[in-house]
Amino acid sequence: MLSEIQKDVLGEILNTNIGMAASVLSEMVRQKIILSVPKVDLQKGDEIDLSAFEKDLADFRTSVLSTIRFGQGFSGNAYIVIPADKAKDLVNACVGENESHDDYLKLNADDFDVIREISNVILNSLIGAFGNLLNVRLDYSLPDVELAMINAAENSGLPADMNFLSMHTSFLLSESKVKGMIFIALSVNSVNMLLGKINEMLGEIDD
């Protein structure tokens, strides 16, 4: 659905915005954040093939999933996925504790609150940048946080009637090695708004 040049422009926009969010996260966890270049595509929910992420998803079988809803002129959902066995390490980095363990069953309500706040910072920064780009006002929900199972051998399980802007990137904490994946689901009108803006930007470059 996206041309290669549209992917390039959108990738640059996302790369810049993720960089700003990572800077804030770096201050929260007091660690350097290592970012990969985002891979971008736009597909229907039932078209997303999670097996394309097979190598990376090996660490995401059981994950902590954060979901935020945003609306008004530009609307959809945004998701951040963190491997469950690294979630406690992420929490500890934020609260200044050094203990490390991979037992996600030990996550408690306070841990989920910390993850909720981290997700809020990352996703609000990312989605807010879209609002700035399109010059539209956005309202956000607080993130819903839950444990989720992800299986690359199955289809994505994402809503078939929504267009997903899939961005596969890693934000790796230099010491605790926590990484994550991000998906953004957009309404049809929002997809058209975004593509229209990108095409406008490309037209300005051509001129």
**How does pLDDT run across 46-74, given as a tens digit for each residue?**
666 555 554 555 566 788 889 999 987 78
Residues 115, 96: Cα–Cα separation, whole Å: 14
pLDDT of residue 195: 86
Tell me which amino acid residue 98 is.
Answer: N
Backbone angles phi, psi at 72, to 5 degrees: 85, -130
Number of domains in the chain: 1
Q: Which residue range(s) make up the domain with 157?
A: 4-206
pLDDT of residue 79: 84
Whole-prediction pTM: 0.78
The domain that holds 21 is classified in CATH as: 3.40.1550.10
3-class secondary-structure state, position 92: helix
Residues 200, 206: Cα–Cα separation, whole Å: 10
Measure the CA dihedral 112/115/116/120, to 10°: 180
